Every structure is written in C-alpha cells, then in structure tokens.
C-alpha cells in the first residue's frame, strides 16, 4: 500500500533533531524559535489560517505555562517547542459538553487574540501533515509528563530532562522515557464482507474496525487473531501489516492490519462490544457516502476510516 504514510498523523518528515536535546539552550536562544501551546490536551488553533498557532518563546501566555517545555525538533530549520498551560483556569460554562466523546467547546486565552484551544480530534483533518505530526507529538509527550510525575521505582517526584524527552529520579537515578502503547486495528475480511463493531458509549450508529492492545510477549499477528476471537468469536488466518498511525489519545501507536477470516458466525463479547456485524462492500459504500440508515462512517482522520476507504478503492486485499 504505497500511500500508507498518508494517514493522519502519519508523519511529515519532521527533523526531530535529537542531537540538540542535550544542549537545548542553543535552540532556546534562537530568535526564530516558536511555541505550540496546549491546555488540557487541546491545541491552540489559529482559526483564520486553520493551522496550529506558533508563538515566540517570550509570549505573555508563558506566564500560565507549566515547567515542562518539550523540544519537538526543527520546523523548516526553526526550533519548535510545546508547553501546556497548567496555571490557567478559565471559566467553563460548557463543562458538561467537555465530557462528551468529542469535546466541541473552544476556549480563548486573553493573550492569544482570536486563536482558540480546540480538541485535536475536531481539527485533525484540517491540519497539514506537519502540523498534525507536531500536534500528536506534543499532546502525547506532554500528556506523559502529566501522568508520570513520580518515579515508578521509589515514588520520588521525578524531573524533566533531555529537553522533555526523559524524566530522571533525583533519589535513585532511575530514567523514565515517554511510552507508546501498541494497538492493533484490523480490517477483517470474509469474501466481500468486512467486520465492524461498536463499543458501549459510542455515539449512536458509529461503527469502526475492531482494535485492541498488544499484550507482552505477543506478536502483532497473534494480537490480531486473539482480539478478533475474544471480541467477536471470529477466527482469523492470514494477517498482513498495512499502515500505522500515532494516536495521541493518550499515547498509542495504531498498527493497521489486514486479516482473512476463517469463520463467519459472530459470538459477541458484550463487555467489549455493544454490537458487531459483517457489512458487505456495497453496504459499506453506502456508509461511506453517509447514506446508510443505521451505520455512521468511521471518523475521518482515524486509521479505521483510512483503511476502509482504501479497501473500498480496491487498494487493500482481495476477496477469498
């Protein structure tokens, strides 16, 4: 699949300049250096240009920033960092809406003009590949700092180091690095049908491809077969890798696979899935156009949508 890396967050060739992390002051002193700003995982978004807002390191918004500043790399030879506004507490009249599957609310900081903080899921399809890679990286690494403040070996509060790419314990010297959790997501085919399911709590009518975490000591292929059998009772034979997608919600790597089912009868695990079903190619084409009476298409920007659209375009797999 030649277009595998065109998936959202699939990579833009960002120069992460890891060699600069140990002497980051050089990048900080560069007058062209810029900041990407986050608040509660949301990205500061320039509505006019439909791009991430890039602010100078001396911008007044930094008065509300936390202590961790992550060096993301060089964006067109310009150092770029990410920080989170941990000290800002805006009034939130839409608090209930913020707890929905896709938070539609926008927040505006008094120092950043018309730019707003927006949920990444809501803006990801409007971003350029470079902005998407920067956003996914910033959200994942800063989220890791928020959730891993204490040493797992001795419990002492650790400190950020290596330009935000490591935490060091001052008590026992244990080093901690950002984690990425591998998740398989699979396009399971039987003849001209594709297997889809929906989790409890999803928006009405939303179906997607089955997915699950890879367990310790397990290959990707074994994880695909295990997850599909556990969730839907379907056995899978051939498994092929297709594409991957960084998924910063909070820190996964989605590993897209193609699998050929060797059974057809679904036995649902009601704890994992609310429903699972086989959908024919013609019916999935109807879903893709938004014309199906019961099934909503997978969310644009997600690798499930990418895989399904490529399958419908006959760029993945074949009938058996």
Contacts of 6 (CB under 8 A, 6+ apart): 306
Distance between CA atoms of residues 225 and 232, nearest Å? 11
Spatial contact of 154 and 238, defined as CB atoms under 8 Å apart: no
Contacts of 217 (CB under 8 A, 6+ apart): none
Spatial contact of 70 and 81, defined as CB atoms under 8 Å apart: yes
pLDDT for the residue 3: 76
The per-residue pLDDT for range 118-135, each reduced to its tens digit, is 999 999 999 999 999 999
Share the mean pLDDT of the chain: 94
Confidence band for 279, pLDDT divided at 50, 70 and 90? very high
Confidence band for 94, pLDDT divided at 50, 70 and 90? low
Pinpoint the residues of the chain covered by CATH 3.90.79.10: 181-312
Mean pLDDT of 84-113: 84
Confidence check: pLDDT of 294 > 70: yes
Beta bridge partners of 255: 184, 244
The per-residue pLDDT for range 161-181, each reduced to its tens digit, is 999 999 999 999 999 999 999
* Domain covering 181-312 in this structure, CATH number: 3.90.79.10
Spatial contact of 262 and 237, defined as CB atoms under 8 Å apart: yes
Confidence check: pLDDT of 95 > 70: no
């Amino acid at each position: 699949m030649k277009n595998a890396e065109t998936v959202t967050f699939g990579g833009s060739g960002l120069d992460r300049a890891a060699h600069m992390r140990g002497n980051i002051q050089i990048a900080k002193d560069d007058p062209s250096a810029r900041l990407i700003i986050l608040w509660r995982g949301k990205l500061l978004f320039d509505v006019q240009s439909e791009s991430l807002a890039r602010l100078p390191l001396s911008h007044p918004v930094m008065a509300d920033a936390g202590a961790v500043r992550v060096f993301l790399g060089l964006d067109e030879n310009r150092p770029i960092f990410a920080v989170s506004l941990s000290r800002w507490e805006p009034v939130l009249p839409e608090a209930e809406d913020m707890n929905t599957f896709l938070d539609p609310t926008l927040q505006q900081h008094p120092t950043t003009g018309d730019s707003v903080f927006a949920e990444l899921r809501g803006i990801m399809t409007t971003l350029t590949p470079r902005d998407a890679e920067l956003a996914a990286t910033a959200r994942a690494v800063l989220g890791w700092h928020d959730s891993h403040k204490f040493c797992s070996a001795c419990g002492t509060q650790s400190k950020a180091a290596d330009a935000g790419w490591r935490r060091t314990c001052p008590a026992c010297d244990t080093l901690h690095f950002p984690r990425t959790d591998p998740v398989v997501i699979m396009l399971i085919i039987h003849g001209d049908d594709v297997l889809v399911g929906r989790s409890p709590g999803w928006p009405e009518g939303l179906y997607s491809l089955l997915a699950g975490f890879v367990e310790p000591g397990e290959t990707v292929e074994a994880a695909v077969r295990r997850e599909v059998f556990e969730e839907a009772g379907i056995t899978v034979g051939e498994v092929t890798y297709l594409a991957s997608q960084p998924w910063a919600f909070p820190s996964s790597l989605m590993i897209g696979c193609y699998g050929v089912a060797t059974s057809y009868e679904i036995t649902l695990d009601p704890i994992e899935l609310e429903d699972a079903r086989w959908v024919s190619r013609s019916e999935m084409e109807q879903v893709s156009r938004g014309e199906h009476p019961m099934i909503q298409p997978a969310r644009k920007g997600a690798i499930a949508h990418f895989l399904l659209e490529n399958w419908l375009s006959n760029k993945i797999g074949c009938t058996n």
